[in-house]
Structure 1
């Protein structure tokens, strides 16, 4: 069956995917190096996003406290008055929080990608060793 033929999957006919790429130790080392560089860049991005979140969170808390002190209403209504008064700050904090969480998830995904490349590298090294080339030959 060629790569552009159709294959049945769960009763449906769907196009076959592209043939798997063939890796060699050099291409795997390059992929690992690229992934490691992206992880290093991701650390700086996560740090930046977290700082932005902390600044936005601090601004929200200060605005809430100022609104609380400024309100002369009943104690049970103060919280709601303050929430309305600090809507913009809370929204900015939530956006900063979402940006940090996204960057953190991306960083974790890159770490998983690195582990996958390391696994592929181990498989390729074993294949080369079995063929009598590379390490141990």
Structure 2
């Protein structure tokens, strides 16, 4: 059984708060990478579409085949950003839970010994 005390709760809150602050930069970096990969995919697709010399109805499919690597890079960047975002939300929930534990503990310490004679 783990004994929890107010100092341990404060330390955990401080640690999670620091991880949330770091997570902001991680999310920003990953989102910027996604945007860059998305722009690169769009540009490559447009170039491939315009460069295709076959039938007009085949242009889209030819461009899709030609830009598969750019699309994969965009999808990987999107997945990385979404993962970082979910992690950030999980940390926020963890912080709220720790704050709730801290509030319960303060209430418990405030009422300790009340009514005893």
Question: Where on the TM-score scale, by shorter chain, does this alignment land: which range?
Answer: over 0.9
Where structure 2 has 5 or more consecutive residues not aligned to the other structure, the ranges are none
Q: Does 1:92 align with 2:73?
A: yes
Superposition TM-score, scaled by structure 2 size:
0.94
CA distance in 1, matches of 2:58, 2:31: 32
Superposition TM-score, scaled by structure 1 size:
0.80
**How far 1:22 sits from its partner (Å)?**
2.0
Higher strand share: 1
Contact 1:23 1:124 in 2 (8 A): no
Q: Does 1:53 align with 2:69?
A: no
Q: Equivalent residue for 2:107?
A: 126
Task: Give the number of equivalent residue pairs.
Answer: 114
Higher helix share: 2
Alignment of 1:30-69 (within 5 A): 30-69=11-50
Q: Equivalent residue for 1:104?
A: 85
Q: Cα RMSD between the aligned structures?
A: 1.2
Q: Equivalent residue for 1:4?
A: none
Structure 1 range deviating more: 21-30 or 80-89: 21-30
CA distance in 2, matches of 1:30, 1:53: 34
CA distance in 1, matches of 2:51, 2:113: 79
Give secondary structure in 1 for the equivalent of 2:11: helix
Which structure 1 residue ranges, 4+ long, deviate > 4 Å from structure 2?
A: none
